[in-house]
Structure 1
Amino acid sequence: MARLGRGGQTKETRKQRQERKEENLKIQQQLKTIVLPTVGVIFVCIVVYVFLKTRPRLEEL
């Protein structure tokens, strides 16, 4: 008994809408706990590498 909306797509049921919301929340949580720390570590590594390559060298006399 799925009703067709505009464009011939079936209307989303309440259960499907709830599942989609839960899935989106799960993806956002993964973004905060996995992706952002990984990007942070890569950024810190790049900063340290650039710092070590561009610092003035001490010449021994």
Structure 2
Amino acid sequence: MRQLKGKPRKETSRDKKERKQAMLEARRQITTVVLPTLAALVLLIVVFVYVATRPASAE
């Protein structure tokens, strides 16, 4: 049957497999890229706040 312009085409099993694979890859990237980056950012903020608010040494 002919596909009409402007209508979305029906998703095939191949399309579904590719979409699932892309979702798995995105989840892997979240655990390998995003979480360590956020952890480093939080650590930098904590160190900055600690250095900025520590009491001056009394000598």
In which range does the TM-score fall when normalised by the shorter chain?
Answer: 0.7 to 0.9
Give % identity. 41
Shift of 1:3: 6.2
Quick one: distance in 2 between partners of 1:19 and 1:25? 10
* Corresponding position: 1:10 with 2:9: yes
1:59 aligns with 2:53: no
The answer for unaligned runs of 5 or more in structure 1 is: none
Deviating above 4 A after TM superposition, structure 1's stretches of 4 or more consecutive aligned residues are 1-4
How far has the Cα of 1:2 moved from its partner?
A: 7.2
The total of aligned residue pairs comes to: 58
Normalised to the residue count of structure 1, the TM-score between the two structures is 0.82
User: Aligned Cα RMSD in Å?
Assistant: 1.9
Q: Which has the higher contact order (CA 8 A, sep 6+)?
A: 1
Output one character per residue of 1:7-60: Cα deviation in whole Å (capped at 9) or x when no partner: 721111001001100011001101101111011011101101110110111221
Unpaired runs of 5+ in structure 2?
none
